[in-house]
Amino acid sequence: MQYRTIGSSGLVVSEIAFGCGGNAGLMVRGRHEEQVAIVGRALELGVTYFDNAPDYGDGIAETSLGRVLKTLGARPVLNTKVEIRKENLGDVASHVVRSLEGSLQRLGVDHVDMLQIHNGPSRADPKLEGRSYIQLSLDDFLRPGGALDGIERLKRAGKIAYAGFICRGNDGAEVRALLDTGVFHLINVPYTLFNPTAGRAKPSGLTVDKDFGDVISYARAHGAAAAVYSPLASGYLTDDAVAGRPRHELARAYDLETPASLKLRRRARALTFLSRESGCTLAQAAFRFVLMHSGVAAALGGFSTQAQIEEIVAVSGVPPFSADQMQRLEALWNADFA
């Protein structure tokens, strides 16, 4: 396992990290015994960074990870998050504090190494409703009593060491504004073979649902780093998806025959030259691409089985794709995967 430093924080993490979200399902729907076995194997293989959130199973993933780490007697680098919803806007800072205190209780620790705001920044009022937390206005990040105030309270109390936030796309200017505060050392952002715009300018011919505005490069230049979530694009960048095979029983189910799914599977099939020529799986190729960017501190994997963690950890330290392969990838993007 190779290790990387998160920006200027001095916090060192494994470049393959363990995501506890619901897509893979292990920490939300798995049995304690299989969670212990798979997390234990990840630790044996050198994984030191675990990414969690209260929203993953409504606290279940945090509780599960806390129980597993207690069973194993382990204390890796821990990240969790805060979701800010409409009901919290009256006093965002206090909600940030209360949410983290609940997370600490579920995780069974007295502090976490990284706390992230699970909302992405928005220039306009995102008009939050119900349980939505996708975005948060910059004003609610920055104003007195806003998210940054809550973060500073937790830092002073010794309950968090560093802070970060999530990028949701089409928000490059807002992400830069938050990074300019100097408060944040980590952004979580998707950066994939389907959509590389978080780490470079958008290829001229590529159509994407969201442009992430090369925020990884900006973060790197401003003392921050990226943890890349969903590097497999919700599981579509896998050999199983290309072949139309069903997902693991713990994983979130998708209909692989819808028009949207078929489009993604066709695009994934066009990318298999990277795995075929490299003698690896498509999932390994997808992680290899992510780790080629010097602004990435960690690629977050969602793992349902021990075999999956072993497959992805094997990517750590592998050389980048060749110049010829990157040229063909660029041509594929510019042709919009035609």
Q: What phi and psi, each to the nearest 5 degrees, are found at residue 191?
A: -150, 105
Please report the pLDDT score of residue 237 as a whole number. 97
Which structure tokens are listed for 255?
């209909």
Q: What gap in Å lies between CA 33 and CA 133, rounded to an integer?
A: 32
Of 291, 333, 324, the C-alpha closest to 1 is 291
- Residues in contact with 290: Cβ distance below 8 Å, sequence separation at least 6, in sequence order: 191, 192, 228, 231, 296, 299
Confidence of residue 243 (pLDDT cuts 50, 70, 90): very high
Please report the pLDDT score of residue 195 as a whole number. 98
Which structure tokens are listed for 134?
């996708």
Please report the pLDDT score of residue 220 as a whole number. 97
Q: Does the pLDDT value for residue 43 go beyond 90?
A: yes
Lowest model confidence (mean pLDDT) among 20-29, 88-97, 324-333: 20-29
Give the pLDDT mean for 137-154.
98
Please report the pLDDT score of residue 235 as a whole number. 94
Q: What gap in Å lies between CA 132 and CA 125, rounded to an integer?
A: 13
User: Quick one: CA dihedral 6, 53, 105, 159, positive or negative?
Assistant: positive
Q: Measure Cα distances from 5 to 10, 18, 64, 185 in Å.
A: 6, 16, 27, 10
> What is the average pLDDT value for the chain, to the nearest integer?
97
Render 125-193 in DSSP notation, one character per residue.
-----TT--SEEEHHHHHSTTSHHHHHHHHHHTTSEEEEEEE--SS-HHHHHHHHTTS---EEEE---S
Count helices and strands (H / E) in the chain: 14, 12
Q: What gap in Å lies between CA 43 and CA 76, rounded to an integer?
A: 8
Q: What gap in Å lies between CA 51 and CA 39, rounded to an integer?
A: 12
Q: Does the pLDDT value for residue 24 go beyond 90?
A: no
Confidence of residue 168 (pLDDT cuts 50, 70, 90): very high
Confidence of residue 321 (pLDDT cuts 50, 70, 90): very high
Confidence of residue 252 (pLDDT cuts 50, 70, 90): confident
Q: What gap in Å lies between CA 59 and CA 223, rounded to an integer?
A: 31
Which structure tokens are listed for 31?
């049995």
Using an 8 Å Cβ cutoff, are 237 and 231 in contact? yes
Give the pLDDT mean for 34-44.
98
Read off the pLDDT of residues 254-312 as tens digits, 9 standing for 90 and up.
Answer: 888 999 999 999 999 999 999 999 999 999 999 999 999 999 999 999 999 999 999 99
Q: Does the pLDDT value for residue 159 go beyond 90?
A: yes
Give the pLDDT mean for 134-140.
97
Chain-centre distance of CA 146, in angstroms? Answer: 24
Lowest model confidence (mean pLDDT) among 11-15, 122-126, 163-167, 187-191: 122-126
CATH of the domain at 236: 3.20.20.100
In the chain, % of residues over pLDDT 70? 100
Please report the pLDDT score of residue 140 as a whole number. 98
* Number of structural domains the chain divides into: 1
Q: What gap in Å lies between CA 156 and CA 153, rounded to an integer?
A: 5
Confidence of residue 250 (pLDDT cuts 50, 70, 90): confident
Q: Does the pLDDT value for residue 149 go beyond 90?
A: yes
Structural domain of 119: 3-334
Number of C-beta neighbours around residue 49 at 10 A = 26
- Residues in contact with 293: Cβ distance below 8 Å, sequence separation at least 6, in sequence order: 191, 199, 216, 226
Q: Measure Cα distances from 39 to 4, 14, 307, 312 in Å.
A: 20, 14, 12, 14
Indicate the residue type of 223.
Answer: G
Pairing of strands 160-166, 3-5: unpaired
Using an 8 Å Cβ cutoff, are 238 and 244 in contact? no
Q: What gap in Å lies between CA 35 and CA 74, rounded to an integer?
A: 14
Helix (H) or strand (E) holding 20: none
Q: What gap in Å lies between CA 114 and CA 81, rounded to an integer?
A: 8
Q: What gap in Å lies between CA 200 and CA 258, rounded to an integer?
A: 30
